[in-house]
Structure 1
Amino acid sequence: MTAQRWTRRDFFRSSGLTAAAVIGGPALLTACSRVDDSSGSATSATAETGADPLARFREAGTIKVGVANEQPYGYRDKSGNLTGEAPEVARAIFKSLGIDNLEAQIVDSFGSLIPGLQSKQYDIIAAGMFITPERCRQIAFSNPDYAAANAFLVAEGNPKSIMSFEDVAKGDAKIGVLEGAVEKGYAESSGVAGDQIKVFPNQNAAFKGILAGRVDAIALTAVSLRWTLQQQYADEPLEVTESFVPVVDGKEQTGAGGFGFRKEDTALREAFNAELKKLQEAGGVLPLIEKFGFSATEVDKAAQLTADQLCAVS
């Protein structure tokens, strides 16, 4: 691993989960599903505790995935379909492993994903989660499938000239971050005062917050901000700044995202990694996610990294 430390979000806080929905094939959310499945089915994440689940997932043809409702990483579209960068990549990989259906658990906030995985609400996290040393102490990760820089969502014309966290620290601007996100840590490490930081539970709340004048900027990945602005708020007087790589203690904090697994599910993660590598070498990742605003730059950079590198403390 180089001197760079690749991060996405900080530790997660526990919170409740919403109802699940079964998806497969074209990814249509077709039915609600209990998470605490008491039927003893082969797809239950609580079944056969201690056994690696790959074989039984193949037999059942279904696996449960935890997804945060954050565009463009994983979300429901207007027709009720589950889509986004992470679900589309996961769907392709699991189909190659003989698992045709994803049973998706949509969580209330990004911060509830790791607790949900640890408590066996679902079997993997498919939410574009950045791989960090802190998170690696809690769960295991696949190798990354994308990398992304940060940016700010600001009012048109960027009246407070916010281009970096240091700019915020030097002035009186207030910024919004998502619950459980690394951007809060970036801001604090750059000298932004606590009363200048507003934490929002999700992406939609953050966008509404800046429109209501509660904050002057929203800090998130550039891909996420540009996609959401284009898809949902194109008529609003907002813009996204140029992307940048935050620097903390002299080290660049560029992020690379992957899929989260419980530490004991070794064979499942290794099989997933093997199929991901095949997909990357065949040039198959970009066609799946470029419609969500990702480019060859994000895909190619991720293919040069491994989870072991990203989990290492620099």
Structure 2
Amino acid sequence: MNFKLTKTCITAGLLLATSTLSALAGPLMDRIEAGEPIRIGFSNIPVFGFPDENGTPKGFVNEITLGILNEMGYTDVEATVTEWGGLIPGLKANRYDIITGGMYILGARCENIAFSEPIAKTGDSFLVPAGNPKGLNNYKDILAAEGSILAMYSGANTVEASRNEGLSDAQMMQLPGPTETLAAMQGGRADAAALTSFEAVYLAEQSDGKFEATDPNALPEWTQNWVGIGFRDADADFIEKFNAARTAYLGSDAMMEAMKQYGYVEANLPVDTTTEWACANR
């Protein structure tokens, strides 16, 4: 794949494989039939989705998505990097056909977009200063530590989780993404950051011992989540085919080999959990 990174997007121009269209083709199948690329939107999130130095979409969610599309015979892909909060609005505004980058399947999101069947199961963790001097392992600890501030991405599941656990807006620092969240921690403006466990571990490993990740099991069980790929509701025909290819690809030797670099292991496979269940219970 020959990806080119620009200031706002990554573009890949590749040959389009042929496919059989259903009689009720949705907008995405119409685009494919017209020879147009599949447009993927993602945010620059460690481990989940990011561009490498050559502009190639990386991260386990991007790689799984591209692997499934390849299984389907589709390789003409255009990928755009945007802020986390712009993913769902961009999908609904028809700027993207698919959104990746670690989107949890949540009931509130299921009201706005359609999801593939899950591609991963993961929990959240806190990023805290080395030694965790304030003992901040869960939301209740933030509440108990007077004046403590918890950083998080605006629009992330951790915003709702924080409120469900009783945090006030004054205790929550909502930021655009990982760069700003890490800067808040480094500058001492936040006492902890609520992230996915993948991100927390990654950022701790990159901090030269300045930070550590807390145990995800210290957070409530209901903060365990399932990652899906986002689509427009109108693309039900494509989602059906995508899910069929997902079944063949997920957990395959090829996929698990590609996942080693991201720390995705067998325990992250979404065994026996459906999108319908996640939409109703998360």
TM-score range, shorter chain: 0.7 to 0.9
Kept in 1, the 8 Å contact 2:125–2:215? The answer is: yes
**CA positional deviation for 1:66:** 0.7
Deviation per CA, 1:155-178, whole angstroms, max 9, x where unpaired? 111000011111111112211011
Measured at CA, do residues 148 and 58 of structure 1 come closer, stay the same or move farther in structure 2, by a change above 3 Å? Answer: farther
Matching residue of 1:23: 12
Deviation at 1:102, TM superposition (A): 1.8
Residues 305 and 313 of structure 1, relative CA distance in 2, 3 Å threshold: closer
Supply the distance in 1 between the matched residues of 2:145 and 2:247 (Cα, whole angstroms).
45
Cα offset for 1:150?
1.1
1:213 Cα offset (Å) = 0.3
The structure 1 segments of at least 4 consecutive aligned residues displaced by more than 4 Å after TM superposition are none
Of 229, 248, 260 in structure 2, the residue corresponding to residue 278 of structure 1 is 248
- The answer to whether 1:174 aligns with 2:165 is no
Output the CA distance in 2 between the equivalents of 1:264 and 1:245. 39
- Does residue 193 of structure 2 align to residue 183 of structure 1? no
Following superposition, the deviation at residue 236 of structure 1 comes to: 5.0
Q: Where do 5+ consecutive residues of structure 1 fail to align?
A: 1-17, 26-49
- 1:117 pairs with one of 63, 86, 91: 91
Q: Where do 1:28-47 residues align within 5 Å?
A: none
Q: TM-score, normalised by structure 1?
A: 0.79
Between the aligned partners of 2:77 and 2:198, the Cα distance in structure 1 is 25
In the superposition, the TM-score normalised over structure 2's length comes to 0.87
Aligned residues: 265
With over 3 angstroms needed to count, the CA separation of the structure-2 counterparts of 1:197 and 1:146, relative to structure 1, is same
Change (3 A) 1:176 1:281: closer
**Alpha-carbon contact 2:204-2:210 (below 8 Å) kept:** no
Structure 2: distance between partners of 1:169 and 1:273: 41
Question: Which residue pairs with 1:239 in the alignment?
Answer: 212
Q: CA deviation at 1:242?
A: 1.3
Aligned equivalent of 2:222: 252
Q: How far is 1:56 from its partner? A: 4.2
The Cα offsets for residues 7-52 of structure 1, whole Å up to 9 and x where unpaired, read as xxxxxxxxxxx72221368xxxxxxxxxxxxxxxxxxxxxxxx844
1:53 matched to 2:42? The reply is no
One-letter amino acid of the structure 2 residue matched with residue 237 of structure 1: K
In structure 2, how many angstroms separate the alpha carbons of the residues matched to 1:245 and 1:254? 11
Distance 1:307 1:196, change over 3 A: same
Decide which moves more: 75-84 or 134-143: 75-84
Please give the secondary structure, in 2, of the residue aligned with 1:264.
helix
What percent identity do the matched residue pairs reach? 26
How big is the alpha-carbon RMSD for the aligned residues of Structure 1 and Structure 2? 2.1
Q: Which has the higher helix share?
A: 2
Q: Which range moves more in the overlay, 74-83 or 174-183?
A: 74-83
Residue 289 of structure 1 deviates from its aligned partner by 2.1
Q: 1:307 aligns with which of 244, 269, 275?
A: 275
Among 244, 248, 267, the alignment partner of 2:237 is 267
